[in-house]
Structure 1
Amino acid sequence: MSAKYYANFLPKHFDNFDCLKLAPGIYIILLFILRAYIIWIMSVTNMRDHVGMIQWVFPQTALFYLNLASGVIGLFVVLILSLRRPKAQAWVRICWRKCKMLLIIALTFDLLVGVLGYFIWQLQSIPWLLMHCSLVISAIAYILSSKRLTINIAEFPEALPEK
């Protein structure tokens, strides 16, 4: 990447491998995609009521299980993020280059689950579905328009020479 892409960033925006730190939007999008897993972990760690948290957020258990299924791609992206380091295997590099597409597929699949949940199984209300749709469209627009995310995808950490 040329220097003009990095002109707006300060040294604090770079990590130990001279790569631009990941865009905060990636983490927010992953939190959205993985919300069922986050609720599941929170409910498991609750010593008094293991199911209460899940039932509060997902009144229909079918919707919870469908959201767990839609979050699998998000779990894969988290795996790629955690393996993104110098000397990573070739498949990690290849998958990292596809992270934008993987996030868009995960968001689209998540929306499809919500739409199917509404139209086939009547698991959601129309205001909830509209909010879900607007969040997914906003997240996809961010992924496609974020210059920082584009730089993040283009870079991959390399070992720096010792000084």
Structure 2
Amino acid sequence: MTDLPTFERSPILPNEVEDKEIWQPRWHCFCCQDTGQIQAHLVSLIIPDYDHNRDRIPVCQGCNKFDNYHLKEYGVLDLRFDLYICKKLDAIARDGWKKTTEQQFEKYKKQLDIATGQIAQAHSLAVANRTSNDEREVQQRKAEIEAISPQEWKAMNESYLVGKKDE
């Protein structure tokens, strides 16, 4: 055993923001995701054998977010990607994002449909397994509940759930 401490996770964003990120990204430019550096999978559409570890950094001309222009002095930036190419790459990335989200929605919809079907099937089995005596008892209890007046509901609420006022 080691004497190392154990930490709990410390997320930067709460879960609802992380979940929202799946469906609606925070960036505006899909070409570079607001970093100024064109995403490697998009660069490979223009430079098929692109190696992000060895090749120059392709700079997005669509949003002008790249803020390391001091690197220009060292010749490490690839400025061949003009506005037209960046806009085309942005459109390709947006389309890919749209298709991905549609697939995710379809996946979740299928899961929901399966779960709903299982619940309905379980309910119908429970109803089908009732005897006529059970069914009569269910209908009688339902009628009794429906016959309770609003005043009686209020009295029961105060008595059982809220507690008596004099206690």
State the TM bucket, normalised to the shorter chain: under 0.3
Larger radius of gyration: 2
Tell me which of the two structures has the higher relative contact order, counting C-alpha pairs closer than 8 angstroms and 6 or more residues apart.
1
Instruction: Identify, as 1 or 2, the structure richer in helix.
Output: 1
TM-score normalised to structure 1 length: 0.22
